[in-house]
Chains A and B, each alone.
Chain A
Amino acid sequence: MIRNTFTKFLTRSVLAGLLVALPALLVAQQPATDISKMTREEVLAIPYEKLIELPLDQLLQLADIMGVSLDELYEMILNKNIEAASKKSETSFDSPLSSTVLSGDEIRRSGATSIPEALRLVPGIIVREKTPGNYDVHIRGNDNVPPNHMFLYSENSISLIMIDNMPVYNTGHGGTFWEVFPIDVNDIERVEVIRGPSSALYGPNAASGAINIVTIKPDNNKIKADVDAQGGIPGTALVNGGLSFGAGSKFRARISGNYQYRQRWDERFYLWTADSTYPSGYYHLNDSIFDTPGPTTNKYGEPIADTIKHPELGLQKYGVNAFFFLDVAPKVNFSLMLSHQGSYTLSTIVGDKETSLTQRLSNSSYANFRANTYGFTTQLSYNIGSHDVQTTSDGLKHDIADFYGSVEYQYQLGNLIVRPGVAYQRSVYDDSPYAGNAEGMEVLFNKPVTIENIAASVRLEYTLFEKLRLIGALRQDWFQQPEKSKTSFQAIGAYKINDRNMVRAVYSRAYRGPFMADTYTDYKYDKSPYTQVRFTGSQNVDLLKIDMAEIGYRIKPSKTIQAEIEAFYITGEGYGYYALDSVSWLLAGVRVIPLHVKLSYTNLDLKSEQFGATFNLKWVAKQNLVVSLNQTVQYTRLSNYYPYTPTETIENLWINDRQPGIIPNTFTARPEQIDTLYQNIDHKATPAWYGGLTVDYRPIEKLSVVAGAYYYGAQTFVNMNGTDEIGSKVLVNLKVSYHVWKHGSVYVNARNLLNDNRNEYGFTDPIGGLYMLGATLSF
């Protein structure tokens, strides 16, 4: 039903997109070629059949354009072009926002084994590995807010990750499931990262920033194939392959596939217990605690160990992709990505208490169409599939269907650039196919549920005296569920003092969008033989708002160095969680048992404040040596923090309500009966400092050595089940590649070389060293 509706919707949307694109296509005319005015990209786009026909004088002109002087080469290393910050190409030095570009070559040379791991190369991103290949990624941090509640709230739901501008976001619970990305490192042309609220540019959820992964577009129509395979210990196999080809001068295509298999360092699972025989800690599934009735059994009394079929496995996934490009004219081009993935990962639970980890199973298919037609940019994305978010519990499997559509138009009037746009998003998740089995299983929604919004935006940029850029971006989102209208914005002033110094200031606001789980849940959680917990969503809550004030300074002290420092102050309010609504009790002898607990999604008075600064520097130290360094320091504070977990709240209610002699057999209490003490606390979920150092060295032409260290300070992870004090950690990484012949190289790749095997994230796996051998072939 959903799919039929969406198929119709998609058809209409594609038609609408084509209506925008086709008129421009029809009037597209091949302009007369003036070689002297061509750009590098335009030269690269000339098909070989035309090049070979050109006379020598014109070839010399083209070679001039393609030629790279030493200064230009430094610029290519230090000052790559970025499009995400202004929705037009500009150098990183000129970018008005805190932003970073990471090239696909840098990623592959570094030895990063996955996209989230590659983000450790980006300043201002904290990346911690939960289980092998499964990462927590936060832009600047501000994570695990609110604490002392479900594990779910530690997921990063305030960053928007995109593949070729297509959001890949879990609207069900909020956040990014990195394993459902159908692409892998070999598909990446570059990764563009914006730190700071960016909803004015990219819509809801780009609250702490946005990451756009740009995939490879073949340079020409030659048939090219590449394969990269590596494997090692603990049992790990990673394979990437791609084939690109084209026809004539206008059509290019690339197909690719990837596979990851990652075993765990340690097959134990963390258990929270209150048992003196079995203290909280890591246990094997065959330990006797898993046979003991209680927290390690599901609601049918079955050991959850039985539901985990592969305790040795951290991640297994595959993805296949097809990319098509049609360059009709210099300002008219189209692209289409069709992808599919299937994935299994051992990740953190949503909210249960038995173990910290659960299995997540997903399969999804993607279609992403983009058209650039004389200043119009049309994007239509559609994603369908199913997610089983927590296989160790019933009721968390659902079918997904996400549609994103937008049209923007950019035009320039003298020094003024104007970019208006409209956007539409509709997500429909349906768990009803998985409800109502003979065992009375319940699901979150038991019907198709929808999150939908339409938006209008405009970005204005005015340049004064060729040095001062004044930028204002405004976006109005009309959300349908809950019915809210929100305004996101960016106000930016960027002053280029000279070619070597630039200062900028930003004030911006962004919103996190609503999620199905918060909005529609009507879920009976009855794991205990006595207590029944009911979760109820709300369509009348406010959305999380993130505000940021930021200043930045970029400097090129010499042509071999580029550095930047950015200082930020970020506030967040409008947080929410499932708060205790009411509880009813049963007095059974001397014991009091909560019979019915009702939790409702509720806004909190909680406010977060984050102060911090990020410094980064890139230095071409020698002809064959490039050094990159970045360091972030930050401090997060929560005010109006309610310090009790739901369980503690129930206990407090009991204590406060107890009046000897008058306890009825059953009674009902409400949380406002508690003498609550709201607190202001230091929030230490994000380490106070983190960063990385990379040394990229090529001692001889055929040998490449990339060594790096990613490090972070101590952190305190708190949720409703407990507190995990996690020490600082330095991850030393090394990839040494030798170019054996013109079509191939072999390499050794070590991640966490020193085998520091402590866990990096609260209550998750110990993460040790990964040692691999690999080979790359390209033809």
Chain B
Amino acid sequence: MRKLQLISVVAGLLLVTSFGRIRAQDEMFKALFMYNFTKDVEWPADYKQGNFVIAVLGTSPIVAELEKIAQSKKVGNQPIQILKATDPAAIGKCHLLYVTPGKSAQLAQVTSVFAKKPVLIVTDKAGGAKEGACINFVKVDGKQKFEISPSTIASQGLKVTSFLTSLGITVQ
């Protein structure tokens, strides 16, 4: 609860334009984190062909950051494709789904639509990892961290390395 308050207070200090810069940096780091998550998560063989689709549910500056990565990087041999979506049901096949804070209220629908599908669900919501997200971004004392739920990842039919698990805050 205290953490939640802290995030809310920090988010409220929008007066400071430097905070805008901080937030832009946050989005850059989150995008880089997500790109790195793909190195330590294994998708089933039939997901290792074609484009590697990163879907973003909702609008967020992170889309631009992900598109920047997609211009120069691949996941394995798969080109990265960024898919912008507003409705979970309309997303279709994807590898990683990022639920923006503005759409986090739809997390239950997301987990329902993508239940047991090999999709790494990433959220940016207090308590997201306990509500069905595989990985959830959190701020701890202002520092960008992530929670990780190995059991949820496994239930999605994905494999995660112990290296990635060790870097996150494990949530069961």
Report chain A residues within 8 Å CB of B144. 60, 63-64, 66-67
Supposing A623-B12, A624-B13 touch, asked if A51 and B32 sit within 8 A by C-beta, the answer is yes
Q: Pick the residue among B6, B36, B143 that contacts A55 (CB under 8 A).
A: B36
**Chain A proximity mask over B29-64: 1 for CB below 8 Å, otherwise 0:** 100110111011000000000000000000001000
Min CB gap B5→A, angstroms: 10
**Chain A, interface residues (CB within 8 Å), range:** 35 or more
- State whether A52 touches B15 (Cβ < 8 A): no
Task: Say if the beta carbon of A665 comes within 8 Å of chain B.
Answer: no
Task: Say if the beta carbon of A309 comes within 8 Å of chain B.
Answer: no
16 A-B pairs in the complex with CB atoms less than 8 angstroms apart: A48-B68, A56-B36, A59-B29, A62-B29, A63-B144, A66-B29, A67-B141, A67-B143, A69-B143, A73-B13, A77-B16, A105-B16, A105-B17, A623-B13, A625-B15, A701-B14
Q: Pick the residue among B15, B28, B37 that contacts A704 (CB under 8 A).
A: B15
Supposing A56-B167, A59-B29, A704-B15 touch, asked if A72 and B142 sit within 8 A by C-beta, the answer is yes
Task: Say if the beta carbon of B108 comes within 8 Å of chain A.
Answer: no
Task: Say if the beta carbon of B10 comes within 8 Å of chain A.
Answer: yes
Min CB gap A576→B, angstroms: 46
**Chain A proximity mask over B133-144: 1 for CB below 8 Å, otherwise 0:** 000000101111
In Å, the complex CA distance between A620 and B15 comes to 10
- State whether A696 touches B15 (Cβ < 8 A): yes
In Å, the complex CA distance between A696 and B17 comes to 11
In Å, the complex CA distance between A486 and B9 comes to 54
- State whether B15 touches A697 (Cβ < 8 A): yes
In Å, the complex CA distance between A595 and B142 comes to 78
Chain A binder among B18-26, B92-100, B115-123, B152-160: B18-26
Which of B10, B22, B142 has the most chain A CB atoms closer than 10 A to its own CB?
B142
- State whether A68 touches B142 (Cβ < 8 A): yes
Task: Say if the beta carbon of A76 comes within 8 Å of chain B.
Answer: yes
- State whether A59 touches B32 (Cβ < 8 A): yes
Task: Say if the beta carbon of A70 comes within 8 Å of chain B.
Answer: yes
Report chain A residues within 8 Å CB of B91. none
Task: Say if the beta carbon of A109 comes within 8 Å of chain B.
Answer: yes
Report chain A residues within 8 Å CB of B85. none
Task: Say if the beta carbon of A250 comes within 8 Å of chain B.
Answer: no
Task: Say if the beta carbon of B72 comes within 8 Å of chain A.
Answer: yes
- State whether B36 touches A70 (Cβ < 8 A): no
Min CB gap A768→B, angstroms: 30
In Å, the complex CA distance between A97 and B166 comes to 48
Report chain A residues within 8 Å CB of B22. 66, 68
Give me the 4 closest cross-chain CB pairs, A-B, nearest first.
Answer: A623-B12, A69-B142, A67-B143, A105-B17
- State whether B167 touches A624 (Cβ < 8 A): no
Min CB gap B124→A, angstroms: 14
- State whether A70 touches B10 (Cβ < 8 A): yes
Task: Say if the beta carbon of B69 comes within 8 Å of chain A.
Answer: yes
Report chain B residues within 8 Å CB of A672. none
Q: Pick the residue among A64, A620, A623, A704 that contacts B143 (CB under 8 A).
A: A64
- State whether B17 touches A67 (Cβ < 8 A): no
In Å, the complex CA distance between A644 and B22 comes to 61
Task: Say if the beta carbon of B164 comes within 8 Å of chain A.
Answer: yes
**Chain B proximity mask over A677-706: 1 for CB below 8 Å, otherwise 0:** 000000000000000000011100100100
- State whether B14 touches A56 (Cβ < 8 A): no
Chain A residue at smallest Cβ distance from B22: A68
Task: Say if the beta carbon of A499 comes within 8 Å of chain B.
Answer: no
Task: Say if the beta carbon of A742 comes within 8 Å of chain B.
Answer: yes
Report chain B residues within 8 Å CB of A67. 139, 141-144
Supposing A51-B32, A742-B61 touch, asked if A63 and B14 sit within 8 A by C-beta, the answer is no
Chain B residue at smallest Cβ distance from A69: B142
Which of A55, A66, A76, A620 has the most chain B CB atoms closer than 10 A to its own CB?
A66
Min CB gap A303→B, angstroms: 51
Known: A52-B72, A67-B144, A77-B15; 18 extra A-B contacts, CB below 8 A, are A54-B32, A59-B36, A60-B33, A60-B145, A62-B29, A63-B143, A63-B144, A66-B144, A67-B142, A69-B141, A70-B9, A73-B19, A76-B16, A77-B13, A624-B12, A624-B14, A626-B15, A626-B16
Chain A residue at smallest Cβ distance from B18: A76
In Å, the complex CA distance between A48 and B61 comes to 17
Task: Say if the beta carbon of A41 comes within 8 Å of chain B.
Answer: no
**Chain B proximity mask over A660-678: 1 for CB below 8 Å, otherwise 0:** 0000000000000000000
Supposing A76-B18, A704-B15 touch, asked if A66 and B25 sit within 8 A by C-beta, the answer is yes
**Chain B, interface residues (CB within 8 Å), range:** 35 or more
Report chain B residues within 8 Å CB of A109. 17
In Å, the complex CA distance between A73 and B22 comes to 10
Chain A residue at smallest Cβ distance from B139: A67
Report chain A residues within 8 Å CB of B72. 52
In Å, the complex CA distance between A70 and B140 comes to 10
Task: Say if the beta carbon of A466 comes within 8 Å of chain B.
Answer: no
- State whether B36 touches A105 (Cβ < 8 A): no
Report chain A residues within 8 Å CB of B167. 56-57, 60
Min CB gap A290→B, angstroms: 50
- State whether A52 touches B69 (Cβ < 8 A): yes
Chain B residue at smallest Cβ distance from A705: B15
Using a CB-CB cutoff of 8 Å, which residues 25-55 of chain A contact chain B? 48, 51-52, 54-55
In Å, the complex CA distance between A105 and B14 comes to 12
In Å, the complex CA distance between A624 and B144 comes to 22
Report chain A residues within 8 Å CB of B18. 76, 103, 105
- State whether B9 touches A63 (Cβ < 8 A): no
In Å, the complex CA distance between A70 and B22 comes to 12
**Chain B proximity mask over A89-110: 1 for CB below 8 Å, otherwise 0:** 0000000000000010100010
Chain B residue at smallest Cβ distance from A66: B25
Min CB gap A740→B, angstroms: 15
Chain A residue at smallest Cβ distance from B24: A219
Min CB gap B126→A, angstroms: 16
Report chain B residues within 8 Å CB of A105. 16-18
Using a CB-CB cutoff of 8 Å, which residues 621-642 of chain A contact chain B? 622-626
In Å, the complex CA distance between A599 and B12 comes to 64
Min CB gap B63→A, angstroms: 11
Supposing A77-B16, A624-B14 touch, asked if A52 and B9 sit within 8 A by C-beta, the answer is no
Report chain A residues within 8 Å CB of B15. 77, 624-626, 696-698, 704
Report chain A residues within 8 Å CB of B10. 68, 70, 73
- State whether A52 touches B73 (Cβ < 8 A): yes
Min CB gap B58→A, angstroms: 14
Min CB gap A186→B, angstroms: 13
- State whether B164 touches A56 (Cβ < 8 A): yes
In Å, the complex CA distance between A608 and B33 comes to 64
In Å, the complex CA distance between A62 and B68 comes to 19
Min CB gap A36→B, angstroms: 14
Supposing A73-B19, A742-B61 touch, asked if A623 and B9 sit within 8 A by C-beta, the answer is yes
Min CB gap B140→A, angstroms: 8
Supposing A70-B10, A109-B17, A704-B15 touch, asked if A56 and B33 sit within 8 A by C-beta, the answer is yes
- State whether A73 touches B142 (Cβ < 8 A): yes
In Å, the complex CA distance between A63 and B144 comes to 6
Chain B residue at smallest Cβ distance from A56: B36
Chain A residue at smallest Cβ distance from B29: A63
**Chain B proximity mask over A599-635: 1 for CB below 8 Å, otherwise 0:** 0000000000000000000001011111000000000
Report chain A residues within 8 Å CB of B28. 51
**Chain B proximity mask over A73-85: 1 for CB below 8 Å, otherwise 0:** 1001100000000
- State whether A698 touches B14 (Cβ < 8 A): yes
Min CB gap B139→A, angstroms: 7
Which of B17, B68, B72 has the most chain A CB atoms closer than 10 A to its own CB?
B17
Report chain B residues within 8 Å CB of A69. 141-143
In Å, the complex CA distance between A96 and B120 comes to 54
Min CB gap A189→B, angstroms: 11
- State whether B35 touches A70 (Cβ < 8 A): no
Report chain A residues within 8 Å CB of B13. 73, 77, 620, 623-624
Supposing A52-B35, A56-B167, A60-B167 touch, asked if A70 and B6 sit within 8 A by C-beta, the answer is yes
Min CB gap A614→B, angstroms: 24
In Å, the complex CA distance between A93 and B58 comes to 42
Report chain B residues within 8 Å CB of A624. 12-15
